[in-house]
Amino acid sequence: MRNRSSRIRRTAAVGGVLAVVLGTGTAGAATAAAAGSTAVVPCPRGFVCVSESPNGTGRVYHVAQGTRVVFTFPVAVNEVTNSTAVDYCVTGVSSYVLRPGETRSGPNDVRSLAPLPAGGVCPR
């Protein structure tokens, strides 16, 4: 019985994360620039957008400002745009801080996205 309730809780937690990540529309577009890179995939204000392909033909995850997401398996992405007002930690093969209004392009396997903690250091 204990294993079954753990499974149910785990499934509910994963469902909650997916609802946050996938349950948003793409109305409104914001462009961001960083190191000469311009966002190709529209990203609504108040979200961090993670795109599997640089031209937006693949899946695009929308993470609401202030939300932390940990993927069960690393997600292969080619563009991450921060259209929020807070710094975000992008953790993966290449980990970095993504500033508000910044876009990073290039292949990466992302494990998690989280607002930068108060201490200013991203978790590993």
Beta bridge partners, 10, equal none
State yes or no: pLDDT of 38 exceeds 90: no
Token pair 């209004």: residue: 101
Residue-level length of the chain? 124
Tell me the pLDDT tens digit for each residue of 105-124: 999 999 999 999 988 888 77
Q: Answer whether 46's CB lies under 8 Å from 106's CB.
A: no
Place of tokens 């990466």: 108
Indicate the DSSP class of residue 49: E
What span, in angstroms and rounded, lies between the C-alpha atoms of 52 and 62? Answer: 12
pTM: 0.68
